[in-house]
Structure 1
């Protein structure tokens, strides 16, 4: 049995690496980089990227991450995590069909309600150089995110500090990996203290720290 995770650490592959760490899974890591990050993806010696023939044979969509789990190929980071948790079980996995539904619901909720605007905050408050930042995009994100943050804050109160099941699960990983994109906007977390405490607790986990250390060691 062998698991391969395709995708550099500076991508959504972090979600899958974090979960693999939580599950204690050994895996091969193929650091496929996004093609837009390369000045000349066709240059001699260019690293494997999302449009490389080698990777397109794995994922014809040309996006990371993907996995190959002993011949079973799967794309989309959130789906990959739900699959790995379901396969390997343990406390991070849904315990029954209702929790499977909740894990899927929260994963899709984070992707649809939060991810685009949270990414905009990362880009336009932190990642982009000042000349590329757009205050209007920031204002739109700051107007859109308080409502879903309030929803999550209430759910965490009712769930003993976790997204579902009163314990840390794959749902926390999938949601936390999206919510962290909004971290440059500290005012959102000040207004949702349960979200802040939960995200801090998620990021204090050894499995997250191991993933993040590998991410920080990867060239920007």
Structure 2
């Protein structure tokens, strides 16, 4: 059985859990990440030298980086969530990569300060800068959702909606001043119609 190492409260672990649920993949999850088990322990570093969660062990095949993991699992299952047509797949990859490379760095400081309350994340200037950059990125996501009228990469739910959907949920739940983006609200309502979004993801993430 697929083994997932990581805590359920992590957005990156949640990507993998949600993807498995959507694709009907059975798994065993083992808590790693503070305050459970330290990912800097030698046992964990042997699997992932970055000391980040998640890691999967698929019958001896070890993989880290959440977006790489969900792509691997979708390919493994030949899932319709990740179609093989080049243009369709490229659009999905574009939004998955955007979440990691552009959106994630924008919200990191504000979320770390206001929700995680990390030590040292107290600089009001950096919090405001993060809020502004986060808002600009969410405006981009909102414009795309207005264009599709449904999901981030088009009219149907795809693998890209897993990282993007989790990020929109994080935006909604973080106590910062934010403009109204009706397309994002409607998007979360659509995701809320999916069983696993409610039963697995929405209940676990801060």
Q: Where do 5+ consecutive residues of structure 2 fail to align? A: none
Cα offset, 1:213, TM superposition: 6.9
TM-score by length of 2: 0.85
Task: Quote the Cα distance in structure 1 between the aligned partners of 2:19 and 2:187.
Answer: 17
Report the equivalent of 1:188: 178
SS at match of 1:182: helix
Shift in CA distance, 189/107, structure 1 to aligned 2, threshold 3 Å: farther
SS of corresponding position for 1:150: helix
| In the alignment, structure 1 residue 33 sits paired with structure 2 residue 23 | no
SS in 1 for 2:57: strand
Partner residue, 2:8: 9
User: Which of 84, 103, 127 is 1:138 aligned to?
Assistant: 127
Q: Distance in 1 between matches of 2:75 and 2:198?
A: 23
Q: Does the aligned pair in 1 maintain the 2:106–2:130 contact within 8 Å? A: yes
Kindly tell me the number of residue pairs found equivalent between the two proteins. 204
Question: Does the CA contact (< 8 Å) of 1:121 and 1:181 recur in 2?
Answer: no
TM-score by length of 1: 0.80
CA RMSD of superposed structures (Å) = 2.6
Task: Give CA-to-partner distance per residue, 1:164-211, whole Å, 9 cap, x none.
Answer: 131111101011223333222565351x21122213432442112222
CA 1:213–1:199 in 2, change beyond 3 Å: closer, same or farther? closer
Are 1:94 and 2:94 an aligned pair?
no
> What is the SS of the residue equivalent to 2:178?
helix
**Higher mean C-alpha deviation, range 179-188 or range 75-84:** 179-188
Which 5+ residue runs of structure 1 have no aligned equivalent? 38-46
Deviation digits for residues 33-65 of structure 1 (CA, Å, limit 9, x no counterpart): 23xx4xxxxxxxxx5321222222222222110
Distance in 1 separating the partners of 2:186 and 2:202: 21
Matched, 1:105 2:73: no
SS in 2 for 1:170: coil
Tell me: CA distance 1:189–1:87, structure 2 relative to 1, closer, same or farther (3 Å): farther
- Mark the structure with the bigger radius of gyration: 1
1:65–1:75: 8 Å Cα contact kept in structure 2? yes
